[in-house]
Amino acid sequence: MSLKTTVALLGLVTLLAACSEKPQTAHTRKSDSQAWSGAPGDPYSVPGWKAGDQASWEQQMRTRAQGQNEYSRATTQ
Amino acid sequence: MARMKFICDAERCIECNGCVTACKAEHDVPWGVNRRRVVTLNDGVPGEKSISVACMHCSDAPCMAVCPVDCFYRTDEGVVLHDKDVCIGCGYCSYACPFGAPQFPTNGTFGLRGKMDKCTFCAGGPEVNGSEAENEKYGRNRLAEGKLPACAEMCSTKALLGGDGDVVADIFRTRVLQRGKGSEVWGWGTAYGKPTGTKS
């Protein structure tokens, strides 16, 4: 392989390397949906609360947090 | 209204890094980025203490204050999140944060500093809840699934507590009152029983 070909190939590789960069365009911040509105179609959602019902979601959070409380999970001796 | 917070019990944390692993696995966090990490004070010295640290979702977050492109926002539950489509990766938030929460992946062909990544309290981002786009940019949205952060729920010793601030504060308070203090917690008597008598 001649020197010219090698240089051309290296140049091509260097140029094409940037093709893996994702395009970056300016955005304004998007508004987020509420956590209590749930994730539609998510098979990993747990039962015990109703998506879209804020009160039931908050109750679910409180109930779920008690899973971290060993004094409510096991009887003390 | 719930106000989400983390509490880490330094008396319980055993520096297992289970929270770090759970977070990385749950959100497919890229190489070189740790949304959560365990910090040990006086490492190797008797009485060393470890604490699991991530974004504390500050009520008056300094990262929000310094961001030049205003990419941060706070949810109604008090979770501080950001929009990666707006972030320019400048790093100001990293300098402002007292916990070192903002992380910057070195990605792309030329190893450029990417957009900021941090703990989301498993609440995703501004994309549609549970969507592919949200998962790719921010990881799982466990809150929208009715769950709490993976790190806290996975913690084997329950040193790390996460959830509504009032609830986790109550759990922590009950624990502290029950276990006592000083040598009652992890002292000789706890491990081997109280001495029954003294030798002359």
pLDDT over 50 at A43, yes or no: yes
The pLDDT value given to residue A77: 47
Q: Which two tokens stand for residue B185?
A: 């917690």
Find which of A32, A37, A70 to mutate to test the B interface (most B CBs within 10 Å of its CB): A32
In the stretch 36-55 of chain A, residues with CB closer than 8 A to chain B read: 37-42, 44-49
Note whether B144 and B124 are within 8 A (CB).
yes
* pLDDT single digits (tens) A7-41: 999 888 877 777 766 666 767 888 889 999 999 88
* Nearest CB to B171; choose among A17, A29, A68: A68
What count of residues does chain B have? 200
Helices (H) and strands (E) in chain A, counts: 3, 0
Global pTM?
0.83
CA distance B153 to B169: 16
* Nearest CB to A32; choose among B126, B130, B175: B126
| Secondary structure (3-state) at A60 | helix
Q: Which two tokens stand for residue B27?
A: 């959100």
For chain B, domains (ranges, CATH) are: 4-188 (3.30.70.20)
The pLDDT value given to residue B178: 85
* Phi and psi, residue A42, nearest 5°: -85, 115
The residue whose two tokens read 């799982």 is B140
Q: Residues in chain B whose beta carbon is closer than 8 A to a beta carbon of chain A?
A: 1-2, 70-71, 73, 75-77, 79, 81, 83, 85-86, 108-110, 123, 125-130, 141, 143-148, 152-153, 155, 158, 161-164, 167-168, 171, 174-175, 178
Residues B1, A33: C-beta atoms closer than 8 Å = no
The pLDDT value given to residue A1: 72
The pLDDT value given to residue B31: 85
* Nearest CB to A17; choose among B109, B161, B175: B109
* Nearest CB to B146; choose among A57, A66, A70: A57
The pLDDT value given to residue A74: 60
What are the average pLDDT values for consecutive 10-residue runs of chain B, which has 200 residues? 90 95 95 93 90 96 96 95 93 95 81 87 95 94 96 96 95 88 69 66
The residue whose two tokens read 């001796």 is A77
- Would an 8 Å CB–CB cutoff place A60 in contact with chain B? yes
CA distance B174 to B180: 10
- In B96-196, DSSP assigns E strands to 106-107, 112-113, 160-164
- Would an 8 Å CB–CB cutoff place A15 in contact with chain B? no
Residues A33, B128: C-beta atoms closer than 8 Å = yes
- Residue B133's region, left for phi above 0, alpha for psi from -120 to 50, else beta, is alpha
